[in-house]
Structure 1
Amino acid sequence: MTESQNASTTDALIEYRKDIADLQQRIKNRRFQVFGLYSTPIAALLTILVWRGAKIVFWLDVAIPTAINGTFVGIVVFLCAVTVVQFGAEFLEGGFWEDSGTSLRSLKFKLELTEEQRILEARRLTPPTVERQASYKERIPGEIARLRKESRHYRRVHLLMQWMLFFSSAAITGVTAWYDPPQPGKGALIGLGFTVSVVTAAAGYFKPRERAFNLQQTADSMEQHATALELGIMPYAEGEESARLKDFATTVERLRADQRMREQQLDQPQQGQQEVI
């Protein structure tokens, strides 16, 4: 009887996890839909403004080249068509979006209720501490993979910023030497100088290189301890299984706490970092 109850509880928890994953995906899709619903018409308006601004800045006394005119017309027509399709999918009856007319707040509320139901169901069957520690050990590879993924993301952001700085800095010198008239060289120099300033400020503020290093370091340390526990080598070579699992969980939680502290230090201003350190 107990085994059947455990099986039913496990199946219920699995269903709750599926529902939670489905709601999380629906929230992501809905957020993307709302973003596109509002950003596409704004992008069309900005394209028209850029079109008119380019006419005033570069071709005030002459006609805009046909190729450039055609490019702007194509972009505006495409954005308008996408806007019409999105409005139809959102507001017309029978739209092809799953959550048309549903607010993000209601979806998030459903997610909170489902998570609460899962927690209440899990309380009906609380496994022993050793089993929870063993289950915790099995979740560590997923945590390591997540840390490595975030580390690769920040490393790519850092490399992208550096290449933008390289090309923009080199282009400033090239444009300065190439263009003798004030236009369009002046506009290109302004844009390149703006890019260099923005990328430099963003790299100094967000610190993607430091974030990538910290995430990679934490992932390597967690993987080292997981491998040591799996192989039964130091520092998990002695003692009973329950004691080794307890030490492993304590060590991993300490590594995660250190990682969170380093993230908080990176989010603080330079003066605040020195005070924390």
Structure 2
Amino acid sequence: MTEPVNILSSTMTTDALIQHRREIADLKQRIKNRRLQVLGLYGTPLAAIFTLLVWAGLKISFWLDSNTPSAVNNILGGGALLLGFAFAAQAILEFNEDFGLWKDRNTSIRELRLELSLAEERHILEARRRTPPPIDRQASYKERLPGEMARLRRESRHYRRVHLLMQWLLFVSSAAISAVTAWYDPPQPAKGVLIGLGFTVTLITAAAGYFKPRERAFNLQQTADSIEQNATAFELGIAPYNATEEAHNLELFATTVEALRADQRMREQQLDQPQQGQQQVI
């Protein structure tokens, strides 16, 4: 009888924690939606007024003694009219009780943030009250690692592609500078082309030196490979996870993986620092 009771209790604990996470995620999404609603409600009339001021400014500056071109009238007038309709529709959704499309109408973002803080506090208290034993948490931690390794590899591929794109642009632009210089003798249009290519080479070189996509890709891939190596060793029961007690292996595995992740975060922070700061850290 004890085992079914424990299973039922564990299921109830999991369901309760999942419900709290869903509530927190829903509140975060509601805050994002409310920000967009408030931005549209107060930003649309300001944009309409700005459009009318631009229209009037153009009329005074360029066409004071003549008729404004119909294209300008159509674009600016149509834009102001469209913004006016958009503001009217948003005002109706915000202040009219007959429409329930906006879930948090007449609710400030401050109130939603307070609800989010309370929901997070309830989740922390509930998780603390229903905290499973360490061996269960370590086993759950191990099961989350495939997602973490996939994230690291995905980010590594992203930075590798950015690095390759920068390098190819740098190669093409550098080669094009020499080709254009050799092909064109007159200053134009080669001068403008050379200026653009030289700007591209300088920009890519500066961006590659600042963001360091190659180093980031290497660090992420190295961390993912190290975590996978430890996970494989744990699954196979080989050193250093060949102890007779499963709890000891789980504790050592979690400690090792967290050390690898901490080392990855430290290397990311070093890459974000200026060159002089990196030398001081090293």
Instruction: Tell whether the structures are fold-level matches, with TM greater than 0.5.
Output: yes
What is the aligned counterpart of 2:177 among 172, 175, 184? 172
Q: Deviations over 1:166-191 (max 9, x none)?
A: 12212222333344443443222222
The CA deviation at 1:2 is 7.1
In structure 2, the residue matched to 1:9 is 13
What is the correspondence of 1:36-115 to structure 2 with a 5 Å cutoff?
Answer: 91=90, 93-94=92-93, 111-115=116-120
In structure 1, the residue matched to 2:233 is 228
Q: Deviations over 1:106-150 (max 9, x none)?
A: 766654443332212211211111111111111111111111111
Give the residue type in structure 2 aligned to 1:19. E
What is the aligned counterpart of 2:166 among 135, 155, 161? 161
Task: Find the aligned partners of 2:110 and 2:194 in 1 and give their Cα distance.
Answer: 45
Whether 2:124 is the aligned partner of 1:119: answer: yes
What is the correspondence of 1:183-262 to structure 2 with a 5 Å cutoff?
Answer: 183-262=188-267
Task: Find the aligned partners of 2:17 and 2:119 in 1 and give their Cα distance.
Answer: 11
In structure 2, the residue matched to 1:19 is 23
Other structure's SS at 1:164 match = helix
The CA deviation at 1:23 is 4.8
Task: Find the aligned partners of 1:158 and 1:86 in 2 and give their Cα distance.
Answer: 46
Q: Deviations over 1:37-76 (max 9, x none)?
A: 89xx9xxx9xxxxxxxxxxxxxxxxxxxxxxxxxxx9xx9
Q: Contact (CA 8 Å) 1:90, 1:100: kept in 2 or not? A: no
After superposing the two structures, state which structure 1 stretch, 17-26 or 207-216, moved more: 17-26
Q: 1:26 to 1:203 in 2, by over 3 A?
A: farther
What number of residue pairs does the alignment pair up? 239
Q: Contact (CA 8 Å) 1:154, 1:211: kept in 2 or not? A: yes
Task: Find the aligned partners of 1:2 and 1:226 in 2 and give their Cα distance.
Answer: 28
The CA deviation at 1:151 is 0.8
After superposing the two structures, state which structure 1 stretch, 169-178 or 140-149, moved more: 169-178
Give the residue type in structure 1 aligned to 2:197. L
Q: Contact (CA 8 Å) 1:133, 1:245: kept in 2 or not? A: yes
Give the residue type in structure 1 aligned to 2:240. P
Q: 1:98 to 1:129 in 2, by over 3 A?
A: same
The CA deviation at 1:91 is 4.2
- Structure 1 gaps, min length 5: 46-72
Q: Contact (CA 8 Å) 1:91, 1:100: kept in 2 or not? A: no
Q: 1:7 to 1:27 in 2, by over 3 A?
A: same
The CA deviation at 1:272 is 2.1
Q: Contact (CA 8 Å) 1:91, 1:101: kept in 2 or not? A: no
Percent identity over the alignment?
67
Q: 1:248 to 1:92 in 2, by over 3 A?
A: same
Give the residue type in structure 2 aligned to 1:241. E
Other structure's SS at 1:237 match = coil
Task: Find the aligned partners of 2:123 and 2:199 in 1 and give their Cα distance.
Answer: 50
Task: Find the aligned partners of 1:275 and 1:173 in 2 and give their Cα distance.
Answer: 39
After superposing the two structures, state which structure 1 stretch, 179-188 or 234-243, moved more: 179-188
Q: 1:149 to 1:87 in 2, by over 3 A?
A: farther
Q: Contact (CA 8 Å) 1:175, 1:189: kept in 2 or not? A: yes
After superposing the two structures, state which structure 1 stretch, 96-105 or 18-27, moved more: 96-105
In structure 2, the residue matched to 1:63 is none
In structure 1, the residue matched to 2:141 is 136
The structure number with the bigger radius of gyration is 2
Other structure's SS at 2:239 match = coil
Give the residue type in structure 2 aligned to 1:235. P
